[in-house]
Amino acid sequence: MPASSNKSRRHRKSVMQPTIADVALEAQVSAITVSRVINSTGAVRPATRERVEAAIDKVGYVRNMLAGSLASASSRFIAVIVPSLSNIVFIEVISGLQSEFEKQGYQILLANTDYNLDRECQLVRTFLGWSPSAVVITGLRHNAACQRILEEWDGPIAEIMELGDAIDLNIGLDHQAAGRRMARYLLEKKHRNIVYVAAQIEQDYRAGLRYEGHKAELEAVGLKAPLLDMDQLGQFETGARSLDIVLADYPDATAIHFANDDLATGALLLAQRQGIRVPETIAIAGFNGLPIGQHVTPPLTTIISPRQTIGRATAEQVIARIEGRHLQNNQTDVGFEMSIGDSA
Amino acid sequence: MPASSNKSRRHRKSVMQPTIADVALEAQVSAITVSRVINSTGAVRPATRERVEAAIDKVGYVRNMLAGSLASASSRFIAVIVPSLSNIVFIEVISGLQSEFEKQGYQILLANTDYNLDRECQLVRTFLGWSPSAVVITGLRHNAACQRILEEWDGPIAEIMELGDAIDLNIGLDHQAAGRRMARYLLEKKHRNIVYVAAQIEQDYRAGLRYEGHKAELEAVGLKAPLLDMDQLGQFETGARSLDIVLADYPDATAIHFANDDLATGALLLAQRQGIRVPETIAIAGFNGLPIGQHVTPPLTTIISPRQTIGRATAEQVIARIEGRHLQNNQTDVGFEMSIGDSA
DNA sequence: TCATAAAATGTTAGCGCTAACATCAGTATT
DNA sequence: AATACTGATGTTAGCGCTAACATTTTATGA
């Protein structure tokens, strides 16, 4: 099944892929009719459609999305930018995005910033080169250049995970409120010396927002809100190390409010190994509601962040925006939910 | 900075993006010179380069990758197909792929098959439409249509995770050997009644391969190799439930060889909650070497699969192949490593 | 100084597809 | 039977970029 147009003086791969021109020739129609069959746009008589479909099979046509996207100025790409792929939280969001977008025939372009805003800017630039139908980006904080680029770009932009002053769409939860909520719970449990433990809080500034809420709640009743910021990213090991540090450096502490469940789980498992009683000796609280938290002993007291929901809601709204449908609201608070275990 | 070509009768977005023609006009050079500056191909005098770069800034040019890819017949896309995004194992592989490919300016197109081979076939079709520079696909088993499509496609293809008879490149480990290795270890520990527990082994057939190895090793010394196949995908909950089932249905069992660490961890944590002694009452072994396994009590005996290595090695070899470099070997065994904890 | 090579830049012709408009056939209306 | 209308299909002209070849400029050496 050789391709038709061979008059070109131009190179090409040895074996040229068939194009719609080849299909058109085979089906005895014009190229645009083939295009209409492929895209289900415009009217095509059933008999013609069948002929074209047969021809597609016969010549082994594989559609060239690049050409189509260029010609129609619409790529059906969704640029998705997250800070990290090693954090399950973002994976679940991506998973939610993916499943919704795929249904509608959109393809995700994925990249992670490693929590680096300059890298984020670079990625935004690169991705915009692919003429995406929309941009989904984590967080509301970008560097100046990135902010300007995004503001000037005229497709839909969804800033996710946290709530605030967004460029376009905004789907997420109120991290300060979440921090306050957990702090309030710990206060209700009569804790008066609570250490907040985070990992690289400067970069993971949403953990910082939760700390602000936590701090505000404690200071409102005249308590101090010590912060322990670990210099490694939040995984089990870091959580375990932080427990040691807290027990040594904050002898009065009766509870630790961890910035996330990874840290909290790491601490909880260490406590278990070392026979440190939780919550009697030290109470432990986390954030995210990861599955592992419900399987450790005691089950982790945490706040469940609706990650899949963020992904799905974002996809829905972005698609609505792409298709020009009007949205009532640019901001969606997906909320959060306390999950009370026995660890605090 | 309005775009130059306005003679077209064609629509376009209200505000047209500047093109290299606009940059060329501004910098008083030809379009191809701008292209050369952007792509760092061919020689451009430093003075000219600076003029062009200034012009790019001035007109706010954003490169159109679709057009470039179409013209050069090379998209720098890498199609990556994995069974699932909820499994950390694949995430880590993707992470390894991502970091390497990005360095070289390749963009990953990601999709998951949900362990469905027909879906896989559909995804391959769609992805090939984007003219990817290479395809990275999980596993060696595809349905007939998919197999044919991949064989006929003439770019580099990497089939990863397991070793065997591949279409092109093959990077992975020998799952049968891994299963044998762990079985041998359990035999050395004097276990004679070992249950193999998997989840949806039909779909996760690499777990099946490990079971085959396990079975072969046991049968070689005249032992039975009972298999418990859970009907839910392998997470903590399933692992926990399976422990109950084994204790009830296989009273003689002294060890469980789990198909993966998620299941094993779920079982181990349940054992802990219920005061079931591990390994005295029942020994537990896993597969993958997830971080969590080293933090539970007792630490999990498992086999570490080098997931990031698979990602990186794959990227390296695929890039070599794209760039036409010769590879000594189409098959790379990344091996595996026993990690002996106290759980078995 | 002038031939000659090398470097820098330009010209031309598409990549494969689709938007917009044009045309043509069939049907309903008067 | 002429008219208007609808549905199906075709023609044309790019989308924005780059490969290949062509040309001009600059550096090199005898």
Mean pLDDT of A117-136: 94
Taking only the tens place, the pLDDT of each residue in B84-140 is 998 899 999 999 999 999 988 899 999 999 999 999 999 999 999 999 999 999 999
Asked if A237 and B291 come within 8 Å (Cβ–Cβ), the reply is: yes
User: Quick one: DSSP state of residue B104?
Assistant: T
Residue type, A65: M
Mean pLDDT of A319-323: 91
Protein CA at A45 to nucleotide C1' at C28, angstroms: 20
Can you spell out the DSSP letters for B229-242? EESS-SSHHHHHHH
Q: Which nucleotides of C are covered by protein (CB under 7 A)?
A: 7-21
Cβ-contact B22, B34 below 8 angstroms:
no
pLDDT surpassing 70 at residue A254: yes
Asked if B85 and A94 come within 8 Å (Cβ–Cβ), the reply is: yes
| Sign of the dihedral defined by the CA atoms of residues B208, B211, B217, B222, in that order | negative
Cis peptide before A279 (omega within 30 of 0): yes
Q: Give me the percent of chain B exceeding a pLDDT of 70.
A: 95
Residue B192 three-state SS: coil
User: What is the rounded distance in angstroms from the CA atom of residue A103 to the CA atom of residue A98?
Assistant: 9
Mean pLDDT of B243-266: 96
Cis peptide before B298 (omega within 30 of 0): yes
The owner of tokens 């300060």 is A176
Q: pLDDT tier at A4 (50, 70, 90 boundaries)?
A: very low
H/E run at residue B332 = strand B331-333
Q: pLDDT tier at A9 (50, 70, 90 boundaries)?
A: very low
Q: Give me the percent of chain A exceeding a pLDDT of 70.
A: 95
The owner of tokens 């790409």 is A77
- Does the beta carbon of B110 lie under 8 angstroms from any beta carbon of chain A? yes
Taking only the tens place, the pLDDT of each residue in B218-231 is 999 999 999 999 99
Nearest to B106 by CA among B308, B309, B314: B314
pLDDT given at position B5: 36
A216-225, B27-36, B43-52, B319-328: lowest mean pLDDT where?
A: B319-328
Q: Strands B302-304 and B337-339: what pairing? A: antiparallel
Longest CA–CA separation in chain B, Å: 85
CA distances from A28 to A49, A53, A61 (A): 11, 12, 15
- Does the beta carbon of A91 lie under 8 angstroms from any beta carbon of chain B? yes
Helix boundaries (H) for chain B: 20-27, 31-39, 46-59, 65-72, 88-103, 117-128, 144-152, 175-188, 205-220, 236-249, 261-274, 307-322
Nearest to A79 by CA among A131, A132, A145, A141: A132
- Backbone dihedral region for residue A83 (phi beyond 0: left; psi -120 to 50: alpha; all else: beta): alpha
Q: Which nucleotides of D are covered by protein (CB under 7 A)?
A: 7-21
- Between the two ends of chain B, the Cα-to-Cα distance in Å is 70
User: What is the rounded distance in angstroms from the CA atom of residue A130 to the CA atom of residue A142?
Assistant: 20
Which tokens belong to B316? 């390296």
Calculate the average pLDDT of chain B. 92
The owner of tokens 């509870």 is A255
Mean pLDDT of B2-9: 38
pLDDT given at position B234: 62
Length of chain A as a residue count: 344
- Min Cα distance A301 → chain B (Å) is 16
pLDDT surpassing 80 at residue B291: yes
CA distances from A62 to A22, A38, A65 (A): 11, 11, 9
CA distances from A234 to A125, A301, B63, B97 (A): 29, 18, 37, 22
Calculate the average pLDDT of chain A. 92
Which residues from 37-76 of B have any strand D atom under 7 Å from their CB?
Answer: 38-39, 41, 61, 63-64, 67-68, 70-72
pLDDT given at position B15: 56
pLDDT given at position A38: 93
User: What is the rounded distance in angstroms from the CA atom of residue B98 to the CA atom of residue B92?
Assistant: 10
What domains are there in chain A, each with its CATH number? 20-63 (1.10.260.40), 74-173+308-334 (3.40.50.2300), 175-304 (3.40.50.2300)
Q: pLDDT tier at B181 (50, 70, 90 boundaries)?
A: very high
Chain A 31-60, residues with CB within 8 Å of chain B CB atoms = 60
Protein CA at B39 to nucleotide C1' at D19, angstroms: 14
Mean pLDDT of A60-87: 93
The owner of tokens 């193999």 is B196
pLDDT given at position A328: 86
Which tokens belong to B105? 């300016």
User: What is the rounded distance in angstroms from the CA atom of residue B141 to the CA atom of residue B144?
Assistant: 9
Q: Hey, what's the torsion of the CAs at A57, A63, A68, A74, to 10 degrees?
A: 110
Cis peptide before B18 (omega within 30 of 0): no
pLDDT surpassing 80 at residue A13: no
- Does the beta carbon of A5 lie under 8 angstroms from any beta carbon of chain B? no
Chain A 173-232, residues with CB within 8 Å of chain B CB atoms = none
Q: pLDDT tier at B233 (50, 70, 90 boundaries)?
A: confident
pLDDT given at position A53: 93
Asked if B63 and A266 come within 8 Å (Cβ–Cβ), the reply is: no
pLDDT surpassing 60 at residue B12: no
pLDDT given at position A2: 38
Judging contacts by C-beta atoms under 8 Å, the chain A residues touching residue B266 are 295
Mean pLDDT of A91-97: 94
Taking only the tens place, the pLDDT of each residue in B40-80 is 888 899 999 999 999 999 999 999 999 999 999 889 999 99
Cβ neighbors of A77 (< 8 A, separation 6 or more) are: A69, A106, A107, A108, A109, A127, A130, A131, A132, A133
pLDDT given at position B86: 87
Cβ-contact A289, A92 below 8 angstroms:
no
Exposed, middle or buried by CB within 10 Å (0-12, 13-18, 19+), for B202?
exposed
- Does the beta carbon of A322 lie under 8 angstroms from any beta carbon of chain B? no
Taking only the tens place, the pLDDT of each residue in A161-196 is 999 999 999 999 999 999 999 999 999 999 999 999
CA distances from B171 to A14, A216, B113, B161 (A): 28, 52, 19, 6
User: What is the rounded distance in angstroms from the CA atom of residue A82 to the CA atom of residue B324?
Assistant: 33
- Nearest 5°: phi and psi at B110? -110, 140
- Nearest 5°: phi and psi at B138? -85, 125
Nearest to B289 by CA among B315, B309, B317, B313: B309
Return the top range by mean pLDDT from A2-6, A44-48, A322-326.
A44-48
Chain A 141-160, residues with CB within 8 Å of chain B CB atoms = 152, 154
User: What is the rounded distance in angstroms from the CA atom of residue A305 to the CA atom of residue A177?
Assistant: 12
Chain B 230-269, residues with CB within 8 Å of chain A CB atoms = 235-237, 240, 265-266, 269
Residue B276 three-state SS: coil
Give the residue, A231 or B10, on which the prediction is more confident: A231
pLDDT surpassing 60 at residue A12: no
Which tokens belong to B52? 């062009």
